Amino acid sequence: MSTTINKEEIQKFSRLADEWWDVKGKFKPLHMFNPIRIEYISDIIKKHHKINNEKINFLEGLNVLDIGCGGGLISEPMARLGAKVTGIDASKKNINIAKLHSKKSGLVINYQIASPENLTDFEKFDIILNLEIVEHVDNVNLYIKSCYRLLKKNGLMFTATLNRSFISYIKAIIGAEYILRWLPIGTHDWNKFIKPEELENFLHQENFSTFDIKGLSFNPFLKKWKRSKDLSVNYMICSLKS
């Protein structure tokens, strides 16, 4: 059976699993990244579902799938905002960490050891989150096709990844891994980065339409991420299932 699982990538992140919730550890960049990701996702969902901005649990009634959930860094905020969340990851160690942390946090999240192509016994999702995952999977075509199967008609899918550009090699590989040591050396393979036009092509092949696209840029002085028109390194595409 075809699979999207890259065993080397799973082993790489499994070795780091104990550090998922250490804000000063190996996943510090993701903790810094989280606020802008949540802000962007929230704004798009509110716009699409015509939700009152003042509603605190504005995701209430929405079924969310977080693919490649790791230790639950996005699953937990989504649950706090009222969503019914399923988090899947091919790493058993990641799922165990996520389950333990959500229990400590008093959150009910359905965590499963799975990849999108082998997920069964599910209710179709309103929202799918693919955040910093497609550059780590095998067979992107199968991955997108599997997401289409899991998503409701008119459902939203958020895909955050890295552009395969010269500047992304300098910033995301040389800068983030070798100079700043934000990430362990070897975390990313530049050759597996996906250009925005390539990702849009994968999505359109499976009858997704692009709903919105934004670049994400880091301000080193404020140490914060912001939305940008610059897609040269980090970017997010929101797509709609036709």
Contacts 24+ apart (CB under 8 A), 101-109: 101/20, 101/21, 101/71, 101/72, 101/76, 102/72, 102/75, 102/76, 105/76, 107/76, 107/79, 107/80, 108/79, 109/72, 109/75, 109/76, 109/79, 109/85
What would the pLDDT profile of 80-100 be if each residue is shown by its tens digit?
999 999 999 999 999 999 999
User: What domains can you pick out in the chain, each with its CATH number?
Assistant: 7-241 (3.40.50.150)
C-beta pairs of 9-16 under 8 Å, 24+ apart in sequence: 9/136, 9/137, 10/90, 10/91, 12/186, 12/187, 13/70, 13/91, 13/94, 13/136, 14/91, 14/92, 14/93, 14/94, 16/184
What pLDDT was estimated at residue 58?
94
pTM of the complete model: 0.94
CB 169 within 8 A of CB 190: yes
* Short-list 176, 117, 122, CA closest to 147: 117
Task: Give pLDDT tens digits along the chain (242 positions).
Answer: 589 999 988 998 899 899 999 999 888 889 999 999 999 999 999 999 998 777 789 999 999 999 999 999 999 999 999 999 999 999 999 999 999 999 999 999 999 999 999 998 889 999 999 999 999 999 999 999 999 999 999 999 999 999 999 999 998 899 887 887 777 788 889 999 999 999 999 999 999 999 999 999 988 788 889 999 999 999 999 999 98
| The pLDDT of residue 1 | 59
User: What pLDDT, on a 0 to 100 scale, did the predictor assign at position 219?
Assistant: 85
